[in-house]
Amino acid sequence: MASPFVDKLNTIVPPHILVPTLIGVATLAAAATLAAKSVEQDIYVPKEKHVIKVEELWHYPVKGLGGIKLEKGTIGRQGFEDDRTFVLCKVHRDERTGEVTVLEPMYSGFNLQMVLFQCIVEPRDKGPKAASITITRLGPENPNPEQLSYTGKSEHQIQFPLRPDVNKLKKTYLDMHGSACDVYDMGDEISAWLSKYLGFETKLFYIGDNGRVVLGSGAPNGEMAILKRSPLTAPFRKVLPKLFKTPVETITFQDIGQYLVVSKESNDQVSSRLDGVTMDIHKFRPNIIVSGAPAPYDEDFWSQVVFPGNLKMEFGGTCWRCQAITVDLKTGKKAEGEQGEVWKRLSKTGHSQRLSSLHFPDDLLWVFPWVIDVECRD
């Protein structure tokens, strides 16, 4: 004899609909569990564990310009907080109408003189919402700057908010490496100041709270990466509701990953290829510099780094270095001699730095900020 509950349920949902629905839900739940376990096994269980030390942390508020050394790096949704949230774009216009035809994101590898712009964030003690970025132009026009802090008197400096009010800025759409999002124009004054030094019309854009999707297999939670890691369970993930899927990683104006990691052991090996020259590791523009790798270029084969607090960084792919590592930091041009040949020497090794995306094992990130300290051991 059926219970009153079952009778009532049959009245609300006919059996010929209820049964297939329950079977479908059970199937999806089983598929979700299987997929989750597969991903967990593939990603979270490294075969070998090595203890490495974080030597330096860096972030670059404006892509391609001078970086800022950190004592502590606060993990954001798309990398270190305020890392590469601004980008310079070369403006291309129709010769006849003057209309903008292309906004070309600028990279330091193709525009070596970008290294002559040094950034600082000040003040630090009042929080990011009250802070500003000061850009100082170094180089031939300003060979002996009095200071990098904003003076308000130097034509070689400009300042703007670290987190500007986007409601006061013009919104447009910017494509970078095939991954696009809405961005905000920082205005004509900054554009004119940058254009004066670069020699062509340049605009500065801010990403705000937007993000660019990590494409290809570089995103550990992306479809291509999961298919490569778990070909048997990948088809099940495609039919899962969005609720059961891990969100795909997003980035700001980084090229393909949230963080760039490089080891001192790899950099020392590069230096050994240069006659009497020590390679400046900062030319690689890393976010995290580590030491203690078992061998040079060992990071090319890492799958995961675990920080204190069980914060897991999943490695998504390698980054082939561009010509930026050949620059003379004083002139903004290709360096003479051994330093100018480093790109060719490194490309012959077949190695690079490793780009990574972060995976957070739980929702604690949104309860309180995770922080990576210099000298912490992974």
Per-residue H/E/C for the chain:
CCCHHHHHHHHHCCHHHHHHHHHHHHHHHHHHHHHHHHHHHHHHCCCCCCCCEEEEEEECCECCCCCEEECEEEEECCEECCCCCEEEEEEEECCCCCCEEEEEECCCCCCHHHHHEEEEEECCCCCHHHCEEEEEECCCCCCCCCCCCCCCCCCCEEEEECCCCHHHCEEEEEEECCEEEEEEECCHHHHHHHHHHHCCCEEEEECCCCCEECCHHHCCCCHHHHHHHCCCCHHHHHCCCHHHCCCCCEECCCCCCCEEEEEHHHHHHHHHCCCCCCCCHHHHCCCEEEECCCCCCHHHHCCEEEECCCEEEEEEEEECCCHHHHEECCCCEECCHHHHHHHHHHHCCCCCEEEEEEECCCCHHHCCCCEEECCCEC
The whole-angstrom separation of Cα 244 and Cα 285 is: 36
**Residue 221 pLDDT grade (very low, low, confident, very high; cuts 50, 70, 90):** low
pLDDT, mean of residues 157-168: 97
Which residues touch 92 (CB under 8 Å, ≥6 apart)?
A: 100, 101, 102, 103, 104
Strand order across the beta sheet in which 311-319 lies: 68-70, 53-59, 288-291, 259-263, 353-359, 311-319, 304-307
| Between 215 and 128, the higher pLDDT residue | 128
Name the average pLDDT for the chain. Answer: 80
Classify the C-alpha dihedral 191-195-196-198 as positive or negative: positive
Cis preceding-peptide flag for 294 (omega within 30 of 0): no
Q: Give the model's pLDDT for residue 297.
A: 84
Instruction: Determine contact, residues 61/162, Cβ cutoff 8 Å.
Output: yes
Q: Give the model's pLDDT for residue 137.
A: 95
* Of the ranges 29-33, 93-97, 231-235, 373-377, the best mean pLDDT one: 93-97
Q: Give the model's pLDDT for residue 237.
A: 62
Among 315, 312, 375, which residue's Cα sits nearest to residue 75?
Answer: 312
Domains of the chain, by residue range, sit at 51-57+214-373, 80-210
Residue with token string 């739940």: 29
Q: Give the model's pLDDT for residue 360.
A: 44
- Residue 194 reports pLDDT greater than 60: yes
The whole-angstrom separation of Cα 196 and Cα 177 is: 27
Q: Lowest mean pLDDT: which of 31-40, 129-138, 148-157?
A: 31-40
Classify the C-alpha dihedral 199-203-206-211 as positive or negative: negative
**Residue 292 pLDDT grade (very low, low, confident, very high; cuts 50, 70, 90):** very high
Q: Lowest mean pLDDT: which of 70-79, 86-95, 267-276, 307-316?
A: 307-316
Instruction: Determine contact, residues 359/43, Cβ cutoff 8 Å.
Output: yes
What pTM, to 2 d.p., does this model score? 0.80
Q: Give the model's pLDDT for residue 341.
A: 84
Neighbours of 327 (CB within 10 A): 24
Instruction: Determine contact, residues 111/326, Cβ cutoff 8 Å.
Output: no
Q: Lowest mean pLDDT: which of 174-178, 236-240, 249-253, 366-370?
A: 366-370
Q: Lowest mean pLDDT: which of 219-223, 286-290, 320-324, 373-377?
A: 219-223
| Between 242 and 31, the higher pLDDT residue | 242
pLDDT, mean of residues 214-226: 65
pLDDT, mean of residues 63-90: 94
Interval 80-125: pLDDT, tens: 999 999 999 999 999 999 999 999 999 998 999 999 999 999 998 8
The whole-angstrom separation of Cα 109 and Cα 72 is: 28
The CATH number of 51-57+214-373, from 2.40.33, 2.30.30, 2.30.29, 2.60.40, is 2.40.33
